[in-house]
Structure 1
Amino acid sequence: MSAEPTSTPTRAAAHRLVAPAAALSITVASVWWAFPQGLTAWRSAAIVAAWAGTGLLVASLLLMVREAHLARLLGGLELSYRWHHRCGVIAYLLLLCHPLALALDGWAEAPHLAWQTLDPRAQSWPLWLGWAGLLSLMLGLATTFAVHLPYRRWRSFHFVLGGGVVLGLAHVYVLLGNERLLLALLLVAALALGWRLLASDLGLAAHPYRVTQVEKPAAGMIEASLAPCAAALAATPGQFVLAAFGDGASYHGCGEYHPFTVSGIDRQGRLRVCIKALGPCSQRLQDVEAGVLVRLEGPFGSFLDDLGCAPQLWVAGGIGITPFIAQLRAQGCRQATTLIYLYRQASNAAFLEELAAVAREDPLFELLADASGEALPDVDRLLASVSRLGERQVHLCGPQALLAAFTTALRQRGVAAAAIHFESFDFR
């Protein structure tokens, strides 16, 4: 996200529209191509619902592709995932309307025809494919909303959604044959599923790195230094990578890709990432050792891109300090910058001594550190300490409750919404 006051926020806003526009274009093209003529109202509604749902399913697959250049084009990985989820849910509802509308069309002729339409036992195998696809979507979406499901089990069930898409497209293919639009949708779906499975989940497109050093900047947190084994990622401060840690001499990695914010970048392509113990995998990573092979995907995000020349206000809560320490380590401050750094207690304050040293040496950098404990901090008191608040570009990184409290307070003090930037990194 940008700190430019005019053109860059407009460009960022335009990028946020690319993902929904792409999904809408695929959906409208599908419905336009298959729009029924001369049919009854309910049968026409069934066909429109089926093709709209199919278009949204294919768009959902496209939006789940985990590739850095595509993610940037679509407004960021988190935004792509959000629209991937929305498209999947809407597609399922539309596809659920498809057999119901066909049943209502049969009801208009004879009630027993409506039941035959909904009874798979009375149908042929091409229609069984459609029912199997719909049931797979139902199972996959049900587990998507199960936020307390263990990650590995959640991911396994999530793959059922891909199977549902394949079955649904096979259902349409058997019924319609080699239609050009259908073949195009099948190709997009196959490429998206293939890329996600082979390049992303199996790591064939990942960059190999190796852990060279592990430090503990705070309680329940490590900072791992990673050196590239081949071509390095072109990461910038404010970005994050998806990392899968392998095994070491006395360490067994979980092998799953998880997002970690870059906390340091050097000219040789070496990276540092901060990992806080939040779940089973990140808990295990607290014991990672030097020599472990790491596969990285990305980089993703644009949180601190194009800071511009306006004065800055940075607000960091806990592990949210990582993009800001990366920026200070890479370039320092090019404009007046105030950092409000919030943590529960001194043992949780990562990089506090390093930040204090920067504040002593750099006249452009001001540090306001505050141990707020378990409760939300006194936002009014902290913002009252910031001079020229209305002129600043604000970047927030931390827990959702903290971001919401600061956003509300900033808006009440006249800070424009376009001047407030944050990334929540709350996707799985």
Structure 2
Amino acid sequence: WLERPQRGPRPEQTVEIFRFFQEQRGLAETIGEWAFYAFVVAAAIALTKRFPYRRFFQIHRVLAVVYLALVAHSVILLPFSYWGTAVGVVMGVLMAAGSYAAVKSLRGQIGRSHRAAAEIETLVRHPGNQVLEVGLRLKSPWRGHDAGQFAFVTFDRREGPHPFTISSAWKGDGRLVFMIKALGDYTKTLPETLSVGNPVEVEGPYGRFDFSGDQAHQIWVAGGIGITPFIARLQGLAGEPSHPPVDLFYSTSAPDENFIASIRELAERARVRLHVLAADRDGRLDADGICRHVPDWQAAGLWFCGPAGFGQALRRGFSAKGLAGERFHQELFEMR
């Protein structure tokens, strides 16, 4: 596919820019080598969940610098004769597009058109399951969202944005609600650091975990804080005159009575059958348990949000029973 590289001294270039590039080949090789090492280290840190999310976010900025270094390395070392061929044109277009994206990332411009200013309007603690309900009032335009989508929320600019599923239906009233589980060092501090009136920045909405489908029945399965997209959908269904039958299974290891009571009330208004299972009391929910409660499960589609292992077990169980793969919808809400 490529010509055999020339051995020995390279011919002297007469064009000034080409001569300059030839003189920088040693520097370009060094830049490329160290950029590759930096990429390996940065990628390892980004994929290691022991590092806090803000470090993961910062590493993404570092990778943009690494990419620009690799572009400089490639421009200098790519044989000059290639630039007039299809290979050179394709490489030039790819490197230009990637460099444009890298510069936008370093300048903090990615997602700017999706950002909105807001302030905290309400704070409700659910100590039984360590969930903080944060209500926001938007102060700038919001394009609206669908149940199941998420947004990046910045409570503290030093910490940066964190992704949270939106747990409220969009009613056009300029209000959003997020239910945040204390899962890490940062989220555990939010009940003590947030106050009503604090300024917030929201970026979104993102995600494609929607509830569209032509099945005659829907089965929703929530594990822990995975209940949040279903709460938003319940609010939406409560305002609809009719909809296909829905069974919602909520499995939790930390039941909070007030939290569950609010979900029961919402499910009643939305005309959805709610099944609450406490892990310590009822054991782990599986495909057989769901099928016992939903006799016509074969005509249904299933939506799951929760721990990845839980979802994989359900997918295998229903696959073994003959449920088509495209009827099993799972929210893959992981940033790394």
TM-score by length of 1: 0.65
How far apart are the structure 2 equivalents of 1:255 and 1:227? 21
Q: Is the 8 A contact 1:309 1:334 kept in 2?
A: no
Pairwise CA RMSD of aligned residues?
2.8
Shift of 1:305: 4.1
% identical aligned pairs: 25
Correspondence list, 1:248-397, <5 A: 255-264=159-168, 265-287=170-192, 288-308=194-214, 310-332=216-238, 334-347=243-256, 351-361=259-269, 364-373=271-280, 377-379=284-286, 380-397=288-305
Alignment deviations for residues 107-159 of structure 1 (CA, whole Å, 9 cap, x no partner): xxxxxxxxxxxxxxxx7223222223222223222323433123333444443
Aligned-partner SS, 2:137: strand
Shift of 1:201: 7.3
| One-letter code aligned to 2:310 | L
Q: Does residue 1:138 correspond to 2:104, yes or no?
A: no
Correspondence list, 1:414-425, <5 A: 414-425=322-333
Aligned-partner SS, 2:209: coil
- Given candidates 103, 109, 112, the residue that maps to 1:194 is 103
Aligned to 2:20: none
Correspondence list, 1:210-225, <5 A: 210-219=119-128, 220-225=130-135
Change (3 A) 1:341 1:415: same
How far apart are the structure 2 equivalents of 1:385 and 1:413? 15
| One-letter code aligned to 1:295 | E
Shift of 1:422: 0.6
Q: Is the 8 A contact 2:65 2:102 kept in 1?
A: no
How far apart are the structure 2 equivalents of 1:343 and 1:154? 29
Aligned-partner SS, 1:149: coil
Aligned-partner SS, 1:165: helix
Shift of 1:194: 2.5
Aligned to 1:232: 142
In terms of fraction of residues, the more helix-rich structure is 1
Shift of 1:334: 1.2
- Given candidates 28, 36, 61, the residue that maps to 1:159 is 61
Alignment deviations for residues 196-251 of structure 1 (CA, whole Å, 9 cap, x no partner): 233457968621111111112453111111111111132111111111113xxxxx
Aligned-partner SS, 1:130: helix
Change (3 A) 1:319 1:200: farther
Shift of 1:263: 0.8
| One-letter code aligned to 2:98 | A
| One-letter code aligned to 2:95 | L
Aligned-partner SS, 2:107: helix
- Structure 1, unpaired ranges of 5+: 1-34, 44-104, 107-122, 247-252
How far apart are the structure 1 equivalents of 2:155 and 2:97? 31
Aligned to 1:54: none
Aligned to 1:36: 2
How far apart are the structure 2 equivalents of 1:361 and 1:155? 40
Q: After alignment, is 370-379 or 128-137 more displaced?
A: 370-379
Change (3 A) 1:391 1:204: closer
Q: Does residue 1:206 correspond to 2:115, yes or no?
A: yes
| One-letter code aligned to 1:164 | V
Shift of 1:410: 1.6
Q: Is the 8 A contact 2:234 2:267 kept in 1?
A: no
TM-score by length of 2: 0.81
How far apart are the structure 1 equivalents of 2:333 and 2:281? 21
Aligned residues: 306
- Structure 2, unpaired ranges of 5+: 9-24
